[in-house]
Amino acid sequence: MLARRPLHAAWLAIALSFVAVEAKAQETLSPEVVALIEAQAAKIRELEARLARLEARNEAPIARVTAEVQPKPVEAPVSLAQAAGPAPPKPAGLAPPTLRGRAQFDALVYNNDEGSKSTGTEVRRFRLGAKGDLSEQLSYVAEADFGGAEVSLQDVMLTYELAEGRVISAGYFKPSITMDELTSSNETLFLERSAYASTFAPGRRLGVAARAWGEQWGVSGGLFGETEDGDLDTEREEAWLVALRGYVDLLSGEPALHLGLSAYHTEMPERGPGVWLRVRPETGRAPRLLDTGAFISEEGTFAGVEIGYGAGPLTLQAEGGGVDYAGAISAPDFYGWSAQAAWRWTGEPRPYDIENGVFGRIRPAKPLGQGGLGALETGVRVTYLDLGDETVDGGEMTTYGVVVNWLPITRLRLSANLIQARVERLRASPVDETLLTLRTAIDW
C-alpha cells in the first residue's frame, strides 16, 4: 500500500498538467469553467487525504498478510531417512557389560607372646568381572578372584526382577547369613570380617534364592548345594542347605536402626569328609589359631541375631549366634558374637542399604584435590568365638581390634588394622598374638 501513494500523486500531477495545458491552450475560460476546475481539484485533495489516513490505519495488518504470502526460501533436499522421521528403537538385547573389579594389597606384621616375629606381603584380593542386563528384567554378574595361589569364582549369577523390590537369583553366590558377611569387602569397617561371621557363614554355594524388600523391611531365602564338588562314583548324596533372613529398619531412614534374624539348616552328605572348622585371628595369612579337627555330624542348624545403628558419622553394629550340630558320633554346639563401633571424623555417614540390609559405602564430602583431604574413619571391635564342646576342643578366641581408614577419594582406601588375639584351650597354655596389617585398596 505504501507504493500506491506516489502513484496517486503522479496521476494527480498529470491530470492538473492536462488541465493547465488545456487552459493555456484556450487562454480564455468562462468563470463557470474555472469554478468547476477548482472544485474538482479540492475534491481530489480531500480524497487523497482520506486515502492517506486509511493506509496508515491498515498498514500493519497488510504488512503481515504480505509477509505470509511471500514465497518461502527453497530448503536443501532431505534424504529418505530424514523424511521418514526418527528411527524406531532397537529391540532389547544384550547390553554392553560394565566392567568391575577390586585390588587389595596387604603388608603384615605378626608377633606372638614367645617373641617370634614374621612379616609378609599379600595380594589379598584381585577381582575382575562384569555385570549387565540381558533384558529389562534379566541381569547378570560374573566375577573371579585372581589373588593368591588359585583362581576362585566369586558371584556368578543371573537375577530376574519379578516386580519392583522382588527378585529371584540363580547361580553361585552367598546365602544371606549375618550382616558382616553380606557387607562387601570394599565397604567393611575392618580389613577382614569378624571371626564370628567368617566361621558361621556357610560361604558361596551353587543355588537359587528369592529376595523382597520395601521401605523399611527385607526378607530372603534360598536353597543351596555343597561348597565343593564331589565324586559321583559311589552311592553318595550331595549336601544341601536352606537359608533364611529377615530384617527391619525400625527408624526408617536417617538415622537407621537395623534389627535382623538369620538362620540356616544343612544336611551333610552320607559319605563326606565331615565338618572341620579352622579360624584365623581376623588377619590374612595369620596362623589358624582355632582348629576343631574333623568330626562327623549328619546335620547342623544355625541361628543368629543382628543389630545396627547409623546416625551421621556414627555407626554401631553387633551380632551373635550359634550352630548346633547333630549326629550319632558328634553333636557339638558352637557359638560366638562380635561388636564394633565406627566414627568418621570428617562427618560422612555410612548410608543404610535397605535392599541388602547392610551399611554401605563412605563417600568423602570433600575429596582430596577438591577442597579437602577425603574421609577419615576410626573403629574398634571385640569378637568372641567358642569352638569347644563335648569331644571337640577347637578352643576359645577373643580378639580386640582397632582400625584407621583414610579415603582420599571414594574408591581408594588406605588402612591400618591392629588385632590383639588371645586363644585358650583345655589342655594348653593361652596364646597371645599381635597382628598389624597395612592395606591399599581400590575398586572400580
Which segments within 72-116 are labelled E, that is strand?
98-112
Q: CB-based burial of residue 300 (10 Å sphere; 0-12 exposed, 13-18 middle, 19+ buried)?
A: buried
What number is the average pLDDT over the span 270-299? 90
What number is the average pLDDT over the span 205-225? 97
Q: What is the pLDDT of residue 30?
A: 65
Cβ distance 176 to 182 under 8 Å? yes
Q: What is the pLDDT of residue 17?
A: 46
Q: Is the peptide bond before 6 cis (omega within 30 degrees of 0)?
A: no
Cβ distance 324 to 279 under 8 Å? no
Q: What percent of the chain stands above pLDDT 90?
A: 68
Q: What is the pLDDT of residue 252?
A: 84
Length of the chain: 444
What are residue 236's phi and psi, to 5 degrees? -140, 135
Distance CA 432, CA 420 (A): 7
Q: Which residues contact 134 (CB under 8 A, 6 or more apart)?
A: 93, 94, 95, 140, 158
**pLDDT bucket at 228, cuts 50 / 70 / 90:** low
Residue 296, helix vs strand vs coil: coil
DSSP state of 300: E
What are residue 180's phi and psi, to 5 degrees? -65, -40
Q: pLDDT tens digits, residue range 57-70?
A: 555 444 443 444 44
Q: pLDDT tens digits, residue range 389-423?
A: 988 999 999 999 999 999 999 999 999 999 999 99
Q: What is the pLDDT of residue 330?
A: 87
Q: What is the pLDDT of residue 209?
A: 98
Q: What is the pLDDT of residue 33?
A: 62
pTM of the model: 0.76
**pLDDT bucket at 42, cuts 50 / 70 / 90:** confident
Q: Worst-scoring range by mean pLDDT, 3-7, 48-52, 267-271, 388-392?
A: 3-7
Whole-number CA gyration radius for the chain: 43
**pLDDT bucket at 376, cuts 50 / 70 / 90:** very high
**pLDDT bucket at 238, cuts 50 / 70 / 90:** confident
Distance CA 76, CA 79 (A): 10
Q: Is the pLDDT of residue 48 over 90?
A: no
Measure the N-to-C terminal CA separation of the chain; round to a whole number of Å.
Answer: 73
Q: pLDDT tens digits, residue range 93-120?
A: 566 899 999 999 999 999 987 778 899 9
Q: pLDDT tens digits, residue range 286-345?
A: 999 999 999 999 999 999 999 999 999 999 999 999 999 998 888 999 999 999 999 999
Q: What percent of the chain stands above pLDDT 70?
A: 79
What number is the average pLDDT over the span 11-40? 54
Q: Is the pLDDT of residue 431 over 80?
A: yes
**pLDDT bucket at 253, cuts 50 / 70 / 90:** confident
Q: Which residues contact 368 (CB under 8 A, 6 or more apart)?
A: 374, 408, 409
Q: Worst-scoring range by mean pLDDT, 42-46, 54-58, 247-251?
A: 54-58
Q: CB-based burial of residue 16 (10 Å sphere; 0-12 exposed, 13-18 middle, 19+ buried)?
A: middle
Q: Is the pLDDT of residue 193 over 80?
A: yes
Q: Which residue has the higher pLDDT, 341 or 9?
A: 341
CB neighbours (10 Å) of residue 74? 6
